[in-house]
Structure 1
Amino acid sequence: MSLQYVVGIDHAVVMVKDLDSAAANWQRLGFTLSPRGTHSPALGSGNYTIMFGHDYIELLGILTPTEHNAPSRAFLDARGDGIERIAFTTTDAAKGAEELRDLGLDAVGPIDFGRPVPLPGGGEGEARFSIFQWPLTEAPAGLRIFACQHHTRDTVWIPELQRHANGATGLVRVLITAPRPESDARHMLRLIDGEQYSEPDGSVVVPSGEGRAEFAFLSRDTLAQQYPGVSLDGVPERGGAGLIIAVSDLAATAQAVGAAGVALGNSVVVASSAANGVLLVFVQR
């Protein structure tokens, strides 16, 4: 990617209708979750985070309907739980937004916000962010993208929250289903000024940045061929479908996810119906 102020994938946003129920669900899969966070009144949302080395998963729920969260509410109404957005890391949100405008994209932002953070040793800190968004109409395979600048990384990447019973250590791939993978991959390329490569099964991969997770666009049929015997109920024909997650010990992963996991070769797979609309693929790295 040649964008100067965008580093690569920062986190995946999983929209959920029932935030606390979703948190309990992911805990049952062996993830350590942060305490529940509450965003500003203008955002009207709350979250739990699942922290890894340099990226993470965010479970996001609507607490109060606002103008800002209208697209997220529309997503939940249309699809239900699932991957709604992917965030990139930006080193400077204001300059990143200007860089998009220089490419002819009508960037939204930057927007500054924060949330209180309960600290493991007691007391409370604050997590502060600045974000900018690509235009709402520019969503490859219906997946919205934005970029996040972390001003207080020490209140987000807390060591105690980065240790997971299932051994998860980071994101490897975001799986995006699309009837025409090549077309949606080209759309993503245009938005991030990046590159792509194709795999033998027809998947089209778009790297997000050196050392960061990548995007893989593929048809639902191809996804079924990759993970035979795993139910794809709840996986959309077009949209954010799943996450491939690196783990340190696949045997520990299998034990942690229990009956929800299916062993397939060198991976353990959890169907989307067991993970709030997200197909989870654990691979040892």
Structure 2
Amino acid sequence: MNSITGIDHTIIGVADLEAARASWTRLGFTVTPRGRHIGWGTGNYCVMFPNDYVELLGIIDASQFVNNLDRLLETRGEGFLGLAFGAADSGAVHDAFPEVTEAPKDLARLLELPEGTVAPRFSLVHFKPEATPGLSAFCCAHLTPELLRQPDWLDHANGATGLDGMTIPATDPATLAPAYARLFGDGAIRAGQGRLEVRTEALTLRFLSPERMARRYPGLEPAAVMTVTCRDLAGTREFLASRAVRTVAVPGARVVVSPEDANGVILEFALESAAS
């Protein structure tokens, strides 16, 4: 059995954490209370789904350790930073892939709930760059899962129900296949001209060539795409229009929001039953 359980969450770097919270609320997502990483100068707001989530990551104290987030925002701007694969046991991931992972490290954050602050804890295993080419990634094992979600955080006004996956621009996707086959097995890999799909346990990681990106997302500059499932595409489109969020015309049954309205990522809604 694979020690990596799929995609746990995606990470979006933002320049202004409070502005990002307002933007994603405008998009119709319920945003959690603010979190702050203990001993670091970074904080986050999260968009929670039953099995995965989105992390909006920003700097709240630049005098402390920010894990190069300041440099990334300065050189690349806001947008997709990477993703966390899920793991039941971080040690098992390191044992399975000792040559391309660092030893597990624990991290905690303070979550500012109305009834008082709690401290969710995690165990992280970081991959070396050659393990996940084209992507910055680590594995995350939740040590206090009971603190991670509350029922009202899972209800989103735009009808969103969960993540479907990430699509990332890549010059030559086929060259990435061997590394991801090592992590997820040959059966998880689907490759074609200018595309590579990695089927994790529940979600899909996609790499597309610039030509394929241009055909699938015409008129948009290449950027990472986060696909979110929803109950009703028409309802999602109507909700976004009611908030004056412009959607982009693309081929197929999808609702797409430009990076300007989603902190540097292309936000794509797909019908729950048709996703993947």
Report the TM-score when normalising by structure 1.
Answer: 0.86
Please give the alpha-carbon distance, in whole angstroms, between the structure 2 residues aligned to 1:185 and 1:175.
15
Corresponding residue number in structure 2 for 1:116: 110
Shift of 1:110: 1.2
Describe the shift of the 1:220–1:272 C-alpha distance in structure 2 as closer, same or farther (beyond 3 A).
farther
Q: Return the match for 1:144 from 136, 143, 151.
A: 136
Residue deviations 1:142-189, cap 9 Å, x none?
x21101111222221211111111111111120010111111343333
In structure 2, the residue corresponding to 1:140 is in which secondary structure?
Answer: coil
Question: What letter matches 2:111 in structure 1?
Answer: V
In structure 1, the residue corresponding to 2:92 is in which secondary structure?
Answer: helix
Corresponding residue number in structure 1 for 2:228: 245
In structure 2, the residue corresponding to 1:12 is in which secondary structure?
Answer: strand
Corresponding residue number in structure 2 for 1:10: 8
Corresponding residue number in structure 2 for 1:271: 258
Map 1:1-285 → 2, pairs under 5 A: 3=2, 5-41=3-39, 43-63=40-60, 64=62, 69-70=67-68, 72-101=69-98, 104-105=99-100, 107-119=101-113, 122-136=115-129, 138-141=131-134, 143-193=135-185, 195-198=188-191, 202-209=194-201, 212-228=202-218, 231-233=219-221, 235-236=222-223, 241-258=224-241, 259-262=245-248, 264=250, 265-285=252-272
Describe the shift of the 1:189–1:83 C-alpha distance in structure 2 as closer, same or farther (beyond 3 A).
farther
Q: Given that residues 178 and 184 in structure 1 are in contact (C-alpha distance below 8 angstroms), is that contact kept between their aligned partners in structure 2? A: no
Gaps of 5+ in 2: none
Please give the alpha-carbon distance, in whole angstroms, between the structure 2 residues aligned to 1:127 and 1:244.
26
Give aligned pairs, total: 266
Please give the alpha-carbon distance, in whole angstroms, between the structure 1 residues aligned to 2:130 and 2:78.
21
CA RMSD of aligned residues (A): 2.1
Gaps of 5+ in 1: none
Please give the alpha-carbon distance, in whole angstroms, between the structure 2 residues aligned to 1:86 and 1:39.
17
Q: Given that residues 130 and 179 in structure 2 are in contact (C-alpha distance below 8 angstroms), is that contact kept between their aligned partners in structure 1? A: no
Question: What letter matches 1:218 in structure 2?
Answer: L
Please give the alpha-carbon distance, in whole angstroms, between the structure 2 residues aligned to 1:37 and 1:252.
31
Q: Given that residues 91 and 104 in structure 2 are in contact (C-alpha distance below 8 angstroms), is that contact kept between their aligned partners in structure 1? A: yes
Please give the alpha-carbon distance, in whole angstroms, between the structure 2 residues aligned to 1:76 and 1:186.
30
Please give the alpha-carbon distance, in whole angstroms, between the structure 2 residues aligned to 1:66 and 1:189.
38
Runs of 4+ deviating beyond 6 Å: none
Report the TM-score when normalising by structure 2.
Answer: 0.88
